[in-house]
Chains A and B, each alone.
Chain A
Amino acid sequence: MNVALDFTAILNDQYLHYFLTGIQNTIALFVLTWLVAFPLAVLLTVIRSSGIRPLSWLIALYVEYHRNVPLLVQLLFWYFGISSLFPDGLNDFINQHNTEFIFALLALVLYTAAYMSEDMRSGLRAISKTQFEAARAIGFGFVQTMTYAILPQVWRLSLPPLVNQTLILFKGTSLAASIGVAELTFQARQIESITFRVFESFFVVSLLYLAGSLTLMFAGSWLAQRYKLRTR
């Protein structure tokens, strides 16, 4: 390399706010997506296991679509394709409120919920039938059986894949850059194209991602250890 490294060239008052906006947007996208996707995934899992045929088929279709189409294509489909079918009023509303962010959020939520519900479904299948029967025997209805007996075990069983999915979501927020959300990856490109400091800019952003991912990995293994299902 023929250029000396100089991190002060990008970590000064002029460019620092690029990084800060990037961090802010990445975290906002990540946290909001998770907070909506997780309950949605629980709901999907419960409905799918309820035994109502047409509903479970619909959810199976939903899950398979999101698992077999690239996330980038899902993002582009929402942003360019599906939005064109929205009524004008809705599009006007979205355009006044950070369009790119909303569509990225929408796509990421549906994508993550599909994967998470699949993770929880395999957790659900691992629970023995007698648990359902016991809950029924003491007079619980379907909803009570789920909330008091089954789901508390499901989330412990499916904790490792859920943590993994959370990590995938965290990295997946980077794809929002492709539709113009000013998150970290987008900002890395911005700074790089203004300053020509390729290495410095990518290095700082990669370190930030790595810090976030490692935190999630450690938090995940701590949680998995703490809430391990201890049964015989």
Chain B
Amino acid sequence: MLDVVQQYWPYLLFGSYPNGPLGGFTMTLVIAIVSLVLTFPSAVLVALARTSEVRVLEHAAFLFVTIVRGIPLLMLIFWVYFFLPVALGTPISPFWSLILAIVVFQTAYLSEVLRAAIEALPKGQTEAALSLGLSYFPRIWKVTLPQALYNSIPGILNQFTSMIKETSLGYVLAVEELTYAANKVNNFILVKPFSVFALLALTYFAVCFTLTQLVRLLEARIENRFTRVAAA
């Protein structure tokens, strides 16, 4: 395995960059981060729609979440990659297809995380805001969201870990991310499939495990803050 690391590690980390397109693990991170940045605002909107008093919005958001939760991500990727270009009349690159599919998929899941955080806030917060005479938007913006979002930091990071794992599906569309790079390396060496795929699994493990441990720490911290506040 060490010789595979020695020879192909730069390719697995950066792709052919700087002599060619960026790829490998860096690409995995780029896709995951871009996806998170795009998912976050849409998930907030869907979560607000689901917790709003407006029936139509509530039902629409519920329908969206249910449908997305009922379909495999791979199927969603196929819709975006094969069907959207037909419908729009313009080709979409595999890179953006993957990101778009992950964004739609994760919007459903992240919005559920945020909804849970919004609903977990004590009722008194909303009542206090109402009695101060705040209307809907100032109330959401100044009272609900700052607290709900802070409490859901671990949940958001959890979804980010999921996104990193989901970027591996880029392999199916030949997006130059880590899994695709490893597969290329494997096809090139041919005789060491075990080492290559073990290295691939280890890389994902190192990153995702670090993140999940971080989430655990944050969870404890955020919980502590609350018990302190409650005790005071």
Q: Is the C-beta of A11 less than 8 angstroms from some C-beta in chain B?
A: no
Contact between chains at B209 and A72 (CB < 8 Å) = no
Partner of B71, one of A1, A189, A192, A206: A206
- What is the bound-complex CA distance between A93 and B72, given in angstroms? 31
Q: Is the C-beta of A202 less than 8 angstroms from some C-beta in chain B?
A: yes
Beta-carbon contacts of A134-175 to B below 8 Å, as 1s and 0s?
000000000000000000000000000000000100011111
Task: Name the residue on A nearest B171 (C-beta).
Answer: A72
Contact between chains at A69 and B205 (CB < 8 Å) = yes
CB of B206, distance to nearest CB on chain A (Å): 8
Q: Summarize A's interface: helix, strand, loop or mixed.
A: helix
Identify the stretch in A31-39, A45-53, A78-86, A119-127 within 8 Å (CB) of chain B at 4 or more residues.
A78-86
Q: Which of A168-188 contact B (CB under 8 A)?
A: 171-175, 177-178, 185, 188
**Which residues of the partner chain A approach B200 to less than 8 Å between Cβ atoms?**
73, 76-77
Q: Is the C-beta of A214 less than 8 angstroms from some C-beta in chain B?
A: yes
**Which residues of the partner chain B approach A175 to less than 8 Å between Cβ atoms?**
72, 74, 169
Contact between chains at A213 and B70 (CB < 8 Å) = yes
Instruction: Count residues of A near B (Cβ-Cβ below 8 Å).
Output: 42
Contact between chains at A174 and B74 (CB < 8 Å) = yes
Q: Is the C-beta of A67 less than 8 angstroms from some C-beta in chain B?
A: yes
Q: Which of A190-216 contact B (CB under 8 A)?
A: 192, 198-199, 202, 205-206, 209-210, 212-214
CB of B153, distance to nearest CB on chain A (Å): 19
Q: Is the C-beta of B144 less than 8 angstroms from some C-beta in chain A?
A: no
- What is the bound-complex CA distance between A144 and B73, given in angstroms? 42
Offer 16 A-B interface pairs, CB within 8 angstroms, sorted by A.
A68-B209, A69-B201, A70-B166, A70-B179, A72-B169, A76-B197, A81-B193, A171-B72, A172-B72, A188-B78, A202-B75, A202-B78, A206-B79, A209-B72, A210-B71, A214-B70
Could you list 7 further interchain pairs (A-B, Cβ under 8 angstroms) beyond the known A81-B193, A202-B78?
A65-B205, A69-B204, A82-B197, A175-B169, A178-B172, A192-B82, A206-B75
Contact between chains at A202 and B201 (CB < 8 Å) = no
Contact between chains at A84 and B205 (CB < 8 Å) = no
**Which residues of the partner chain B approach A172 to less than 8 Å between Cβ atoms?**
72
Contact between chains at B74 and A199 (CB < 8 Å) = no
Beta-carbon contacts of B181-215 to A below 8 Å, as 1s and 0s?
00100100000011011101100110011001000
Contact between chains at A188 and B201 (CB < 8 Å) = no
Contact between chains at B198 and A77 (CB < 8 Å) = yes
**What residues of chain A have their CB less than 8 Å away from a CB belonging to chain B?**
1, 3, 64-65, 67-74, 76-77, 80-82, 84-85, 167, 171-175, 177-178, 185, 188-189, 192, 198-199, 202, 205-206, 209-210, 212-214, 217
Q: Summarize B's interface: helix, strand, loop or mixed.
A: helix
Task: Name the residue on B nearest A189 (C-beta).
Answer: B78
- What is the bound-complex CA distance between A202 and B200, given in angstroms? 31
- What is the bound-complex CA distance between A175 and B186, given in angstroms? 20
- What is the bound-complex CA distance between A189 and B196, given in angstroms? 28
**Which residues of the partner chain A approach B67 to less than 8 Å between Cβ atoms?**
210
**Which residues of the partner chain B approach A85 to less than 8 Å between Cβ atoms?**
194
Known A1-B87, A81-B198; judge A70-B73 contact (CB<8 A): no
Q: Is the C-beta of B139 less than 8 angstroms from some C-beta in chain A?
A: no
